[in-house]
A = this chain, B = another copy of it.
Amino acid sequence: MPDEDNLITRITRSVPSLTGTKGKRVGVELGIGDDALVLRPGSEKRWVVTTDAFIEDVHFWAHRHPADSVGYKGLARATSDLAAMGATPQFFLLTLALPKARTGLWLDKLLAGMGRAARELGLKLSGGDTTQAAAVSMSFTVIGEIAPGKAVARSGARPGDILYVSGALGRAQLGLELMRRGLDKDRRFRRLLRAHLYPKVQIKLGAWLAGQGVASAMMDLSDGLSSDLGRLCAASQVGARLWAAQIPCARHPEKVSPQLRGKSTQPLMMALHGGDDYELLFTVPRRMVGKLNAAPGFSDLHAIGQIQRGKTVSLVGKDGTEHALPALGWDSFREK
């Protein structure tokens, strides 16, 4: 039997999977082990599909990031796009390219992390493709479902809507900065690495906001607030005013502060421009704001600004001055 077939067996044993005959469940006619996945959709639901690459030396360092975090985060960040629509995750497909040297224990750990994410997110692996390559690269296609007309697009924000974020921002970049400075082995900082290594995806909140019709526009924060808010505003043909004092920023514990001097690592800068947080950014019409009290994780929601006419995204400083906010979040084509 060729090695590729053995590899597929290892993957389907480690990660919750829909195999051809065993995996029958609602919505599936044919799972792993054939040329393609066959889905049996109910007409009362919509299918939501997204795809995301996760590549060595772009999104992670294979020799530095724990292998289980690579598997966990790769799947989690792809699934975050479903949370951003309000969809409930169901299936995923994986393309996995690996150097031969990473097909042993490293792969076992990668699959363990991916399996944990799949269980937490309610996902079953349902198809894919494996190949040997010089560097690790993965691509995740994630499929979810949602009731008709409930998906929340980026384009529905209207002037006057209040802008919310689902949790503290800059936490993932804080973890990354600690790794960059070689502080990730320091046990005191381990907790601070979690948001960077094992991001939590806001599935429940996204589904609630969509199901209740509370959010007029929604997206997940993957590249950083300044870049992603610009995209939401462009899609909605509106501008926005952010209130710096209201933005929940990841705090630097005092013991870390000396290592993180410099403008780009100030808490507000990391909250505005840091990527990888996977919190939800959403807008709520003023008459709906009262409903938010019943949202899952309500205490973590923060009103950080307001949608306005025009095209400008501006930041109102703690001193009341207002400046245009440049989109300085992560862009792999600009950074290098």
Contact = CB atoms under 8 A, between A and B. Distances in A.
Nearest to A144: B36
Question: Chain A at the B interface: mostly helix, strand, loop or mixed?
Answer: mixed
A84 interface: yes
A222 to B, nearest CB: 9
Given A36-B81, A81-B35, A84-B36, A134 B137 contact: no
Q: How many copies does the complex hold?
A: 2
A39 B50 contact: no
Interface stretch (A197-205, A263-271, A327-335): A327-335
Contact of A334 (B3, B36, B133, B151): B3
A209 to B, nearest CB: 13
Given A42-B43, A84-B36, A132-B333, A51 B137 contact: no
A37 interface: yes
Contacts of A41: 41, 43, 46-47
Interface in A85-100: 85, 87, 93-95, 97, 100
Contact of A53 (B97, B151, B331): B97
A336 B131 contact: no
Interface string A318-333: 0000000001010111
A177 B151 CA distance: 50
A73 to B, nearest CB: 15
B100 A151 contact: no
A103 interface: yes
Contact of A55 (B5, B7, B97, B327): B97
A288 interface: no
Contact of A51 (B4, B128, B153): B128
B332 A35 contact: no
B235 A57 contact: no
B50 A36 contact: yes
Interface string A63-88: 00000000000000000011011010
Nearest to A328: B2
A143 B49 contact: yes
A34 interface: yes
A49 B141 contact: yes
A59 B148 CA distance: 40
Given A3-B334, A39-B48, A51-B51, 4 more contacts: A35-B81, A36-B81, A37-B50, A95-B139
